[in-house]
Amino acid sequence: MNVRGLNNILLGLSNYHPIVIEGMGYYDPRAPLDVAKQIQSQLNQHFEKRTPIEKPKLIITQGDPLSKRGISAITPLVANLLGVRRGLVTLDLDPQHSLNADRQNVILEVSYSQMANILESSIAKGTTIKLEQEIDRQIVYKNKQRKEAQKAPLKGYFRDYALLQEVTKAACRQICGDLTVAHTAHDISPFSVTSFYTVGLGLGFVEEHQIVPYGAIDELDFEKIDTR
């Protein structure tokens, strides 16, 4: 994509208020519509309490292939319930990621590298490296915990997808001036990609008040449902 084309996409994104939804993948055992309705309710309450948002809202997805359950099943339902469209960020570090991405109701698409470049050019050089270093630090800590529990280390792809998650949010906030983050569960597995949300939070790229909690407690046994 040429510079003009990229600038047009980023200008288009800046006209929206991004909503990033984070949660479990295909192994989520819950009915997607039930989860989507809970997220819709929480988002509506959040938007009623905060300063009014003048921009139209846009659900930002991160290329999860469509499945019957989990985040890729939930986000289209939330978009439909809210009556909004979707944007897509693909992980160009993995060519298969873009090929398998669900593009239903997607009106805007950008790559991880393009979002990372935004952070480097608009905040400061080395911004992405800060995210990488903190993700690496957390991976070391998580793998230490897993070793003590006699579990295998986290799969290598966790690093790439944690980066995609955190770069997406930081860049969206930088481009749009604000964002909203919603989680699909009250309890978050410490060994999930979602758990890396504390990286952007700790570095100040996302603020606590921008995160919308799930607001309901489901009985989720991560030892059984996530065998990775």
Burial 41-80 (b: 16+ CB within 10 A, else e): ebbeebbeeeeeeeeebbbbbbbbeeeebbbbbbbbbbbb
Stretch 70-91: mean pLDDT: 96
CB count, 10 Å around CB of 163?
22
The pLDDT, as a whole number, for residue 86 is 97
Residues with Cβ within 8 Å of 214's Cβ and at least 6 positions away in sequence, in order, are 38, 39, 42, 182, 183, 184, 185, 186
CA–CA dist 212, 16 (Å, integer) = 18
Kindly tell me if the per-residue pLDDT of 97 is higher than 90. no
Kindly tell me if the per-residue pLDDT of 2 is higher than 60. no
The pLDDT, as a whole number, for residue 4 is 58
Residues with Cβ within 8 Å of 224's Cβ and at least 6 positions away in sequence, in order, are none
- The partner residues of 87 in beta bridges, in order of sequence, read 60, 108
pLDDT per residue as tens digits for the range 17-71: 999 999 999 999 999 999 999 999 999 999 999 889 999 999 999 988 889 999 9
pLDDT per residue as tens digits for the range 201-216: 999 999 999 999 999 8
Cα 194 off chain centre by: 8
